[in-house]
Chain A
Amino acid sequence: MTALLFGATSDIAIALAKCLAKNKYNLQLAGRDMEVMTGLKSNIEIQQQVRVSIYEFDAEKFDGHAAWYDQLLPKPDIVILVFGYLGNHQKALEDWKESKRILDTNYVGAVSILNIVANDFANRKQGVIVGISSVAGNRGRMSNYLYGSAKAGLTAYLSGLRNRLYHSGVHVLTVMPGFVRTQMTEGLKLPPLVTAEPDQVAQKIVNAIAGKRNTLYVLPIWRLIMLVIRNIPEFIFKKLKL
C-alpha cells in the first residue's frame, strides 16, 4: 500500500508520514521544500522498513498538476491533502496578492490536484482521499474569513466528492483538526484543552481511514463548539467581534 501526502513538510504531514510508515505504508511525499523532505525520507527509511520517495510539488502551480500526477509511479492507494496557508488576514484585506494566495492554496490548488486524483481513483474503483479542512470554514468570522471561506469551499468540495466517489467504491474523509500546535500556530496562545498535538491528529486520521469515517473532528469537543457557533442567530453573530 502506498500513501501520497501533499504538503509533506507540514507538521501534521510529518506526523502522518511517521504514523503511516509504522503501519507499513510506502510513502510518496510531495511538497515544496526538498531539504526537509530529504531529511524526513532518511529518517523514516532508517527507522521503518518502507520505501519513501519525494517529489517537488507546488499547490499554486495548477498548470503542472496533471503532468505531475501522470509521471507518478506507482499510483497511490491513499492520498492525503495536507497543505494549507493561513496567511495574514489584515494584510490580505488590502493586498490582493495575499488574498489570492490564501484562496489559491487552500481551495483552488486543492481542487486542481484532487480533480485529477479523483478521476484516477474513480477509474481504478479504489482508494481513499483525505482532505484537511478547518472549522474556520464552518462559519465566516471577521478575523479570518478569507482562509475560512477557502476552507468552506474545500469542505463543500470534499463532501460532493465523497457523494460522487461513493458510487465508485472510493472513500473520502474530511478532517477538522481544531487547533493544532504546529508551525502555522507557532507563537499563538492556544487554549490547551481544545488544542491537539500533531501526533494525536495523525493517529486519529489513520484510525479514521481504517474506520471509513466521513468527517473527523480530531477533538470531539470541536463538533460541539462549532454547533454552538453555527447556531448563533446572524443578527447577534454579526455584532460579535470574533
Chain B
Amino acid sequence: MPTTTSISNWGNYPKLEAIVNSFKSIKELKYLLKTNNNFIARGNGRCYGDSSLHSHILSTTKYNNILAFDSTKGLITCQAGVSFDELIHFLVPKGFFLPVTPGTKFITVGGAVASDIHGKNHHQDGSFGRHIVVMDVLIAAGEVVTCSNQINSELFNATCGGMGLTGIILQVTFSLKRISSYEIDQVSIKAHNLEEVFKLFEEYKNATYSVAWIDCLQSGESLGRSILMVGEHSDNIQRNKFRSERKFSIPFNFPSWVLNKWSIKIFNFLFYHKLIKKKVRSRVSLDQFFYPLDFIGRWNKMYGKNGFVQYQFVLPLVQSKEGLKKILTAIGNSGSGSFLAVLKLFGEQDSGLISFPMKGYTLALDFPMRKGLFEFLDKLDALVLEHGGRIYLTKDARMKKEIFWDSYQRAKEFEKVVLHYNPNLNFRSSQSDRLAITKL
C-alpha cells in the first residue's frame, strides 16, 4: 500500500505529495524501479527547490556505507547516501578534508555530484566533479555503468551537475585534501563598495578559500559594501580531540522579519565593531569557517511556513561588475531580498554539461515567499541572461524554461546524453518537467 508523504526541500517551497522509498542494496533499487515509471533520487533534501522532488522519490539516505579508504593515495569510496557530516567525522582526525564542501555539511555524496557543488575554494580547486576518480550510475535500463573522465565520459559529464536525470548515482570514489589541523587561519577584510571587493578578490586569488558577505541595502557610493573572508588550513599542531556538532535547532516556523533583523545585527556588529581595523586575523574551527549556519540547525524554518527561495546566479567575469551593479540596485530597490548575500569569484568552469559554475562572480541571497516575488525574480532573470549569466539549478524553484535553455549553453548536448541513458525519461523531477528538460 504505497502511502504518500508531504515533502519539500530546504526552501520549504514547493511542497509535494510523494511516495518515498528507500533502498539499501542495488537489488532492492532495481526492484523498486520496476514498480513505477517516474523517479527522482533524493539525498538529504538540501537543495532549495524542486530538484529532488517528484511523485515518486528514491531516497538514497540508507544507501550509506563507506566502502574503501586509502590513506596513502588520499582516496575514499562511498555509497551515494553517505553524508558529508559523517565523512568529516571520519576524515578530519585522520588528517583529511573534503576536496570541496558547500555551506552545510548535511548533504550527501550523491547530491554533491548531481549538483556538482562548489565551495569557497572554487577559484583554486574547481567543483566537486573535478575530484571524482570514478563513479557508478544505475541507468534506466537497470544496468550499472561505471564512468569517469576517461571511461563513458559523456555519462560522467552529464551526471556531474546533471540533477539526477541520468540515473541513480550509486557509489563514488574521490580524492581528498590533506590537512594538518582542525582549524582555519582566517583573514576578514572590509570593503566599502563593489569596486573594492572586486579588487580584494583579485588580490587574494592565491588564497585557498575566499568568500564575501555583502550588504544588499547599500546604494550609491556604498553599493556592494562587504566583508571578504579568506582562509587557509592552519598548520598548528593539534592536541585536542576533534569535535564537530550541531548546536541548536529551530523547531517551528518563525516570522521572516526575525531573520533579517538578526542578520543585520550580526553584519553591523562585524563591520563596525569587530573589524575596527580594515583587516582582522583570527583562527577558527572548521565548523565555524565552513558551516556557520549549521550551528542554528533548521534555520530555514525562520522564514515561516510559506518558505523562501534562494536566488543564486553567476555572471561571466567581463560582465560581472556592470551586471552586479544593476542587479544589486534592483534588489535594493525592491526591498524584499535578505539583507545579506554571499559573493564569490569562481575559477574556470569544469566539464559538467550543465554544471553551474563559470569564471566570474556569483551572488546568492534569500527571498522570503511573498506575493509578486516570482514576477520580480523574472526581472532579475532577464538581467542575468542579458549579461550572459545563469541560475543555479539546485537553488531554483521557479525559473521559466526559456531562461534555462537560453542560459545553459550546453543544454542541448546534455539533453542528448539524458535521452541516451534515460530514453523513456523515467528519471525526472518537478524541476526537470518545469524546465522542459524532460518533456511530458
A47 to B62, CA, bound (A): 17
> Is there an interface contact between A42 and B67, defined as CB atoms closer than 8 Å?
yes
What would 11 A/B residue contacts be, using CB atoms closer than 8 Å?
A35-B25, A35-B26, A39-B24, A39-B25, A39-B79, A43-B65, A183-B22, A183-B62, A186-B20, A187-B1, A187-B3
Q: A33-B27, A39-B79 are in contact. Are A186 and B22 (CB under 8 A)?
A: yes
B376 at the interface (CB under 8 A from A): no
Cβ contact of B65, chosen from A33, A39, A187, A189, cutoff 8 A: A39
Q: Which residues of B contact A72 (CB under 8 A)?
A: none
Q: Are B25 and A36 in contact (CB under 8 A)?
A: yes
* Count, chain B residues at interface, CB 8 A: 22
B68 within 8 Å of A by Cβ? yes
In the complex, whether A9 has a CB less than 8 A from a CB of chain B is yes
- B22 contact set on A, CB distance < 8 A: 183, 186
Q: Is A67 in the interface zone, CB < 8 Å from B?
A: no
Cβ-Cβ contact count across A and B, 8 Å cutoff = 48
Q: How far apart sit A35 and B90, CA to CA, in the bound complex (Å)?
A: 23
B2 beta carbon closer than 8 Å to chain A: yes
Which residues on A sit within 8 Å (CB–CB) of B24?
Answer: 9, 33, 36, 39, 183
Q: A39-B67, A186-B22 are known; give 8 further A-B pairs, CB within 8 A.
A: A35-B25, A35-B27, A36-B24, A36-B25, A43-B65, A43-B66, A46-B69, A189-B5
Give the secondary structure class of A's interface.
Answer: helix
A11 at the interface (CB under 8 A from B): yes
Is the C-beta of A232 less than 8 angstroms from some C-beta in chain B? no
Residue B238 CB within 8 A of the other chain: no
A35 to B79, CA, bound (A): 13
Would you give the 0/1 interface string for A170-199, flagging 1 where the beta carbon is closer than 8 Å to chain B? 000000000000010011110000000000
Q: Is B21 an interface residue (CB 8 A)?
A: yes
Establish whether residues A42 and B25, one from each chain, have CB atoms under 8 Å apart when the complex forms: no
Give bound CA distance, A133 to B68, whole Å: 35
Task: Name the residue among A11, A183, A188 with the largest chain B CB count within 10 angstroms.
Answer: A183
B19 interface residue, CB < 8 Å from A? yes
A40 within 8 A of B: yes
Alpha-carbon distance A188/B67, docked complex (angstroms): 31
Contacting pair A187 B66 (CB below 8 A) = no
Q: Known interface pairs A33-B27, A36-B25. Does A42 touch B20 (Cβ–Cβ under 8 Å)?
A: no
Q: How far is the CB of A184 from chain B (nearest CB, A)?
A: 12
B interface residues (Cβ-Cβ under 8 A, vs A): 1-5, 19-22, 24-27, 62, 64-69, 79, 90
Which residues does A use to contact B, with CB under 8 Å?
9, 11, 33, 35-36, 39-40, 42-43, 46-47, 183, 186-189
B3 and A189 contacting across the interface, CB-CB below 8 Å:
yes
Known A-B contacts A187-B3, A187-B5; the reply to A47 vs B66 at CB < 8 A is yes
Query: Do B67 and A187 touch (CB < 8 A)?
Result: no
7 tightest A-B CB contacts, nearest first: A43-B65, A39-B65, A187-B3, A35-B25, A36-B24, A42-B67, A36-B25
Are A42 and B3 interface neighbours, CB within 8 A? no
For the complex formed, measure the closest distance between the CB of B106 and the CB atoms of chain A, giving whole angstroms.
Answer: 15
Docked pose: A70 CA to B79 CA in angstroms? 34
- What is the CB-to-nearest-CB distance from B320 to chain A, in angstroms, rounded to a whole number? 43
**Which of A40, A183, A186, A188 is most buried by chain B, counting CB atoms within 10 A of its CB?**
A186
B65 contacts which chain A residues (CB < 8 A)? 39-40, 42-43
Q: Of all chain A residues, which has the CB nearest B4?
A: A187
Bound-state CA distance A186–B1 (Å) is: 10
Q: A218 to B2, alpha carbons, bound, how many Å?
A: 27
Counting chain A CB atoms within 10 Å of each CB, the highest count among B1, B5, B25, B90 belongs to B25
Name the distance in Å between B405's Cβ and chain A's nearest Cβ: 36
Which of the listed residues A35, A43, A47 has the most CB atoms from chain B within 10 Å of its own CB?
A43
Give the distance in Å from the alpha carbon of A183 to the alpha carbon of B68 in the complex: 26
A residues less than 8 Å from B68 (CB atoms):
42, 46
